[in-house]
Amino acid sequence: MSEGLWFWEEFTDSLLYGYKVEEYIYSGRSKFQQIDILKLGVFGKTLFLDKKVQSAQIDEVVFHESLVTPSIITHGEPESVLIIGGGEGATLREALKAKTVKRAVMVDIDGELVELCKKYMGEWSQGAFEDPRTEVIIDDAYEFLHKTKEKFDVIISDLTEPLEGGPSIKLFTREYFQTIFEHLNEGGVLAVQSGSADPYYNQFFTSLTVTLKEVFNVVRPYWAFVFSLNMPWGFNLASKMTDPLELKEDEVIRRMNFLGLEGLRYLNPGLFTSFFYLPEYIKAAQEKATVISESSPFIWKE
């Protein structure tokens, strides 16, 4: 191993990743989590939360376009978007690319993280926080959704995975998704960051799929390979009406042009369709997955 400073991420007790550090930009703890922002030799500027990689400069666009854009295209003409989590501002950035969007509300529990991302990671938000369509609310998303009467066309869940003692455990249950459903307009679409989609650590991804099927008429799990996350990564799209698999490529192109999404750096019409075709091992795992509920939550075991 080469000399110098290394940052170690213990993904589980069986899997350890090491990263060569060029610069330690920030390290500290907010009320909710450990925050480290580093410049890595391969990934560039990278955010770690609770010692786990969250987003890296080299490929954050792959993750954020994959999370956001399929739901925007599936809806077709969203005017209002709610983002749950997404402290870096990149999820907000991608939602605001749709020229139909008139209002984007971002609710994140960790105001310290949001301010640190504004200060040190402006490459992610690219002015999204200052956009007049944006409203940032520092609050627990669970509490926010139980207080507000507002409904949205698209809701995007960009949360950390449910670690023991963490704030997001209650934000991945059947009961919570029922609340989400009630805050979507007719034709509304939900996108959920859903964790690893590799052959071994896919239980969270597949459990979210079967949980969403308890609530939504259309649920389409999908995936993308994210280099900085070291594995294929899962997402779920849940819709009240439109099935993204029923959108032919010419219709996807028409919607992208209408929405002003021609200049994306990762997603294209062919890739949109291919997102939703899953490997056989994920299909098999779905057959064994269990519904996540308040009485039986999913807690990621390290």
Task: Specify if 275 maps to a domain.
Answer: yes
244 within some domain: yes
Q: What is the pLDDT of residue 13?
A: 82
Do residues 228 and 109 both lie within one domain?
yes
Dihedral angle computed from the Cα positions of residues 278, 169, 228 and 37, in that order, rounded to the nearest 10 degrees: 160
Residue 63, helix vs strand vs coil: helix
Specify whether 154 is located in the same domain as 205. yes
**251 domain-assigned:** yes
Residue 278: inside a domain: yes
Q: What per-residue confidence (pLDDT) applies to 263?
A: 87
State pLDDT tens for residues 168-205. 889 999 999 999 999 999 999 999 999 999 999 999 99
Q: The domain spanning residue 67 has which CATH number?
A: 3.40.50.150
Distance in angstroms (rounded) separating the CA atoms of residues 249 and 252: 5
User: What pLDDT is recorded for position 10?
Assistant: 87
Evaluate whether residue 298 is within a structural domain: no
pLDDT at 164 over 80: no
Say if CB 31 and CB 110 are below 8 A apart: yes
Domain count, the chain: 2
Question: For 247-271, how does the pLDDT look when each residue is reduced to its tens digit (9 = 90+)?
Answer: 999 999 999 999 999 889 999 999 9
User: Strands 34-40, 44-49: parallel, antiparallel or unpaired by DSSP?
Assistant: antiparallel
Claim to verify: residue 90 and residue 17 sit in the same structural domain:
no
107 & 17 share domain:
no
pLDDT at 15: 87
The set of residues, in sequence order, having a beta carbon less than 8 Å from that of 265 and lying 6+ positions away, is 61, 65
* Domain containing residue 28: 6-52
Q: Is residue 301 part of a domain?
A: no
Residue 80 β-bridge partners = 103
Rounded-to-10 torsion of CA 204, 206, 212, 214:
-120
Per-residue pLDDT, averaged over 28-41, amounts to 95
- Type of residue numbered 231: M
- pLDDT given at position 278: 95
Same domain for 21 and 157, yes or no, is: no
Domain with residue 36: its CATH number is 2.30.140.10
Do 135 and 261 sit in the same domain of this protein? yes
**Which residues are bridge partners to 31 per DSSP?**
none
Residues serving a catalytic function are: 158
Count CB neighbours of 187 within 10 A: 16
Q: Give the torsion through C-alpha atoms of 30, 234, 236, 67, to 10 deg.
A: 60
Residues 65 and 125 in one domain: yes
Give the span between the Cα atoms of 136 and 25, in whole angstroms: 25
In this prediction, residues 164-171 reach a mean pLDDT of: 82
Is the full-model pTM beyond 0.85?
yes
46 and 64 inside one domain:
no
Number of H helices, E strands in the chain: 10, 12
Does the pLDDT of residue 12 top 90, yes or no?
no
Q: Which residues make beta-bridge pairs with 219?
A: 238
Is 187 found in the same domain as 89? yes
Residue 210 has a pLDDT of 98
Provide the percentage of residues in the chain whose pLDDT is more than 90. Answer: 90
